[in-house]
């Protein structure tokens, strides 16, 4: 695989002249440029207007100098046309959560070109815009994280509803997960066909189950999803938040890159995962609240833990927080580039 982009090279474990870096949720509320666009419309309108979605995708590339762009959308965008009434306040809320077999049966698999044309159009605009500059990452939620929102109806602290279904109605749970996995497969393949150059799968809630339950209730569906992607030449990044103790299970899903939150030491994680797989992430997002000298020390510490091994993409261990000073985010990107330059 030949590519000029450090980000793509690092995904494949190839050597780079400096460590590539981007930030999860790099387009968003911490950027005044984003808020200026966001003032004019709702979040869903922003996702559904390709010119605006493209504009806010580009903002962090121009401002931060990140090495990869991520499509501006949400993991729940393709769930709405499955037949679920979605609102953002600003977190997602479904008016009609999935609780019964009839609810699962009523969910439809969207026809991507007809139901989410704005996502595919945004990708096409961005590819033209970024050609030769940065690669574009497409993304989706892992089936389990999507199911959490669909069953709970919103974010949750204890995830009581999804766990009731998982343990108490395993057949219902399995039928829901199968349907979501098939939707996700078609959605991510449509993004690849439209021009996405890498795919990130966000399993934000995959770490809320025990390691044994992860293998039983979460991993089989993510594995099936990744297996069904048209991934020739397209690196797949798999990020499971809170999975530090079960990275060997996460690796079994078969991605090219494994995402790391900040509850795990990057060096130890790499030892556990082995040299064949690349890693991404690891900086505690709250470190961006610290003085610059502290940010620089933390960047250096993570680069030192990686110890020059190929296949490292620098990132936060989860999304950037909305109250972070954008200048600190930009400084973090500069530190990664300066301290890793060969």
Q: How many helices (H) and strands (E) does the chain have?
A: 16, 9
In sequence order, what are the residues at sequence separation of 6 or more whose Cβ sits closer than 8 angstroms to the Cβ of residue 174? Answer: none
Among 263, 319, 330, 339, binds ligand 1CP (CB under 6 A): 319
Single out the residue of 257, 216, 265, 228 nearest to residue 240, CA to CA: 257
- 67 among the known binding-site residues? no
**217 tagged catalytic:** no
**29 tagged catalytic:** yes
Binding to ligand 1CP by residue 204, rule CB under 6 A? yes
Among 26, 191, 280, 340, binds ligand 1CP (CB under 6 A): 26
Q: Which is nearer to ligand 1CP, 217 or 239 (CB)?
A: 239
Binding to ligand 1CP by residue 92, rule CB under 6 A? yes
- 25 among the known binding-site residues? yes
Q: Given 38, 185, 231, 270, which residue is catalytic?
A: 38
φ and ψ of 255, to 5 deg: -75, 170
Classify residue 157 as exposed, middle or buried by CB count within 10 Å of its CB (0-12, 13-18, 19+).
Answer: exposed
Q: Which stretch binds ligand 1CP (CB under 6 A): 83-91, 167-175, 260-268, 305-313?
A: 83-91
Q: Given 149, 173, 187, 221, which residue is catalytic?
A: 149
Classify residue 288 as exposed, middle or buried by CB count within 10 Å of its CB (0-12, 13-18, 19+).
Answer: buried
Binding to ligand 1CP by residue 38, rule CB under 6 A? yes
Q: Which stretch binds ligand 1CP (CB under 6 A): 68-76, 102-110, 125-133, 165-173?
A: 68-76
∠ CA 112-118-124 to the nearest 5 degrees? 95
- 57 among the known binding-site residues? no
Q: Which stretch binds ligand 1CP (CB under 6 A): 85-93, 97-105, 178-186, 290-298?
A: 85-93
Q: Taking phi first (over 0 means left), then psi (-120 to 50 degrees means alpha), and beta for anything else, what does residue 261 get?
A: beta
Q: Taking phi first (over 0 means left), then psi (-120 to 50 degrees means alpha), and beta for anything else, what does residue 315 get?
A: beta
* Structural contact between residues 116 and 187, judged by C-beta atoms closer than 8 angstroms: yes
Q: Which is nearer to ligand 1CP, 72 or 130 (CB)?
A: 72
Binding to ligand 1CP by residue 326, rule CB under 6 A? no
- Cα(105)–Cα(98) distance, rounded to whole angstroms? 10
**128 tagged catalytic:** no
Q: Given 74, 103, 213, 284, which residue is catalytic?
A: 74
- 149 among the known binding-site residues? yes
Which residues are annotated as part of the binding site for substrate?
25-29, 74, 149, 204, 318
Residues carrying an active site annotation = 25, 29, 38, 74, 149
């Amino acid at each position: 695989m030949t590519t000029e982009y450090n980000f793509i090279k690092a995904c494949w474990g190839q050597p780079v002249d400096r460590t590539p870096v981007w930030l999860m949720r790099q387009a968003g509320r911490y950027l005044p440029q984003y808020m200026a666009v966001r003032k004019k419309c709702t979040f869903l309108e922003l996702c559904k207007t390709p010119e605006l979605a493209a504009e806010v995708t580009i903002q962090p590339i121009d401002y931060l100098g990140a090495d990869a762009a991520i499509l501006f959308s949400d993991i729940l965008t393709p769930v709405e046309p499955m037949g679920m009434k979605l609102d953002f306040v600003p977190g997602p809320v479904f008016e009609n959560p999935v609780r019964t077999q009839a609810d699962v049966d009523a969910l439809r698999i969207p026809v991507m070109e007809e139901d989410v044309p704005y996502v595919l159009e945004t990708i096409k605009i961005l590819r033209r815009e970024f050609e030769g500059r940065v690669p574009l990452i497409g993304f989706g939620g892992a089936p389990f994280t999507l199911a959490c929102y669909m069953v709970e109806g919103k974010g949750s602290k204890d995830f009581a509803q999804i766990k009731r279904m998982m343990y108490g109605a395993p057949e219902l749970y399995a039928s829901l997960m199968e349907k979501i996995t098939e939707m996700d497969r078609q959605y991510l393949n449509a993004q690849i066909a439209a021009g996405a150059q890498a795919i990130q799968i966000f399993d934000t809630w995959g770490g809320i189950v025990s390691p044994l339950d992860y293998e039983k209730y979460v991993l089989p569906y993510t594995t099936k999803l990744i297996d069904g992607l048209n991934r020739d030449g397209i690196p797949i990044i798999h990020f499971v938040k809170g999975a530090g103790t079960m990275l060997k299970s996460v690796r079994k899903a078969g991605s090219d890159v494994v995402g790391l939150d900040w509850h795990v030491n990057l060096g130890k994680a790499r030892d556990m995962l082995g040299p064949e797989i690349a890693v991404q992430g690891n900086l505690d997002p709250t470190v961006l609240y610290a003085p610059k000298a502290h940010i620089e020390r933390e960047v250096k510490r993570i680069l030192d833990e990686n110890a020059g091994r190929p296949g490292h993409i620098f990132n936060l261990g989860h999304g950037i927080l909305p109250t972070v000073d954008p200048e600190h985010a930009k400084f973090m990107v500069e530190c990664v580039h300066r301290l890793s330059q060969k």
